[in-house]
Amino acid sequence: MKNDLKIAFVFIGTIVGAGLASGQEVLQFFSRYGIKGFYGIILCCIIYFLISVIIVNLCFKNNYGNYNAIIRSVFGERLGWIVDLILTLFIFGSNTIMISGGGAMLNEYAGINKTAGIFIMASLVFLVAIFSTEGLILVNSIIVPFSTSIIVILGIAVFFVNPDYKELISNIHISVPPRSNWVLSSILYASFNLTVATGVICPMISEGIKKKHFINGCILGSAILTALAAVINFSILIYAPKSFYTEIPNLYIAKEISSVLPFIVTCIIWLEMFSTEIGNLYSLSKRLQGSLKVSYTFSLIIIILFSIPFSFLGFSNLIKMLYPPFGVISFVFLIGCTLKYFKTR
């Protein structure tokens, strides 16, 4: 059970990030579809269950040491090189987004100069990531239970503060007309999250943890992620339409409920950025280590040094540029993994 929890925490911590913790991802991919957003969350959960088990089985069967190995195996050398390059650029982009966002939050909420904030964020993640798998597991084992608890507490508070929640949700279509393509939105959301998680799962299989713990951990992590998304979606719908037009929906909701919760929510958003960034660095460093035949630490230093300049492009600009195409490429990658799995069974 202990190893199941370790994998679950890493799986959750890699996927959650600032987008889910802030509520912005849930708003964009689920809440905008009204009640059908809950159907989308369930579909997302099913995809998490099925594809994470497929990825784990492929990694153990073929002993993939990083995501490059699984990409080349699925797509072949020629096409695999292109897919690998694209996904590496996207994960690198996600890496710079987290550094940029972490620095921006230190600037906005702690009054630290933005440049200094970016360097502080980069330095802190380096100090943890240098411990490789141990650092990855440790930081997620601390951050994930804390952030999960706060999100659940926020959801419970919303429930009790709004006893007429059924009427509020049933009338959501009046204040915010829902969109229709919730299925595609859910598939794209699940796809890019699972692709990022693959980059972390692949190198972890060499750490001596049995396959059953990876499968149990991914399933447990998927269930918790689904519950979190449902709680956040519920809260956003209750406070619609105002919650639809804020940069950080969870922070807006926290301000409506308590004077203490906003500070705590701000902290968990930053912590989730931190944990996701550890996962990104771990994934990229293992990828670079395997290709260049250099040490993990050297790979880590190279990635950090290249990431810092790009972090100054800005948090929101980076998200707009990278996230939409990442979902499409990730979907193609996961379809390839699924076909590979059934062909080699």
Per-residue b or e along 127-148, where b marks 16 or more CB atoms closer than 10 Å to that residue's CB:
ebbeebbebbbebbbebbeebb
Taking only the tens place, the pLDDT of each residue in 31-47 is 989 888 999 999 999 99
pLDDT score, position 176: 64
- CB-based contact 14:197 (threshold 8 Å): yes
pLDDT at 323: 64
What confidence score (pLDDT) does residue 321 get? Answer: 61
Per DSSP, 295 falls in state -
DSSP-assigned states of every residue in 198-254:
HHHHHHHGGGS--HHHHHHHHHHHHHHHHHHHHHHHHHHHHTTTGGGG-S-HHHHHH
Give the residue ranges of the chain where pLDDT is below 50.
Answer: none
Among 23, 305, 311, 298, CA closest to 155: 23
Burial of 320 (C-beta count, 10 Å sphere; 0-12/13-18/19+): exposed
Shortest CA distance to 68 belongs to which of 81, 58, 79? 81
Gap between the terminal Cα atoms of the chain: 28
79: Cβ–Cβ under 8 A, 6 or more apart, which residues?
none
Predicted pLDDT at 175: 60
For the record, the structure tokens of 118 come out as 């970016």
pTM, entire model:
0.88
pLDDT of residue 241: 81
Amino acid identity, residue 87?
A: L
2-343 has CATH 1.10.4160.10 classification:
yes
pLDDT at 248: 81
Residue 302's pLDDT is: 93
